[in-house]
Structure 1
């Protein structure tokens, strides 16, 4: 009989729950940044610069507020994982950006 722990039991459940809330914060941050870029009428690289800035700002806020300046304790990749926007959040940003740009600037 093996004494090594099962891979599914090696995760601490409160940290897994905490990480799911971080994913929600990153998603909402991408949605908000897309709405701001669309309302302001940003085009081309200015909109993507706003997305990069919002990703960096939300990573710093999550690291300082949610993770008490110790993201390695809560996130397996540490601060680098908080900086990763993820494919879903990038596409969400684009979708909301184009939606709000189309709604606000339809008659420009």
Structure 2
């Protein structure tokens, strides 16, 4: 039976792991939505990446305020920098959805 000191010393706390997995899903869906918006609007080059940067910052601010209660270091390793980091998966997803919707909407331009 583990004591409270042993629970506090655990490196992986199940409640925080579950919380972080839901944050990963939110960031992934935000990247998908931003890619769809960039493709539908027909954004090209830096304007599309500016939209991705803006959506990443907005998503991070919402997570910081709503989910983390203003204390991201309590839930996310690295605190604020870990929250703002989009990750390679989300950047790749953004580009994939961006090109998909750009190709579907602007095929005959």
Give the TM-score of the pair, scaled to structure 1.
0.91
**How far does the alpha carbon of each residue in 1:23-66 deviate from its partner, in whole angstroms, 9 at most, with x for none?**
00110010000000000000000000000000000000000000
1:10 offset after TM fit, Å?
A: 2.2
Count of residues paired in the alignment:
102
**Aligned counterpart, 1:105:** 106
Runs of 4+ residues over 6 Å off in structure 1 = none
Aligned equivalent of 2:65: 64
Matches within 5 A, 1:14-93: 14-93=15-94
Structure 1: which 5+ residue stretches go unaligned? Answer: none
| 2:77 alignment partner, SS class | coil
- Unaligned runs of 5+ residues in structure 2 are none
Measure, in 2, the Cα distance between the counterparts of 1:70 and 1:50.
26
Deviations 1:68-100 (A, max 9, x none): 011011111101101000001000000000000
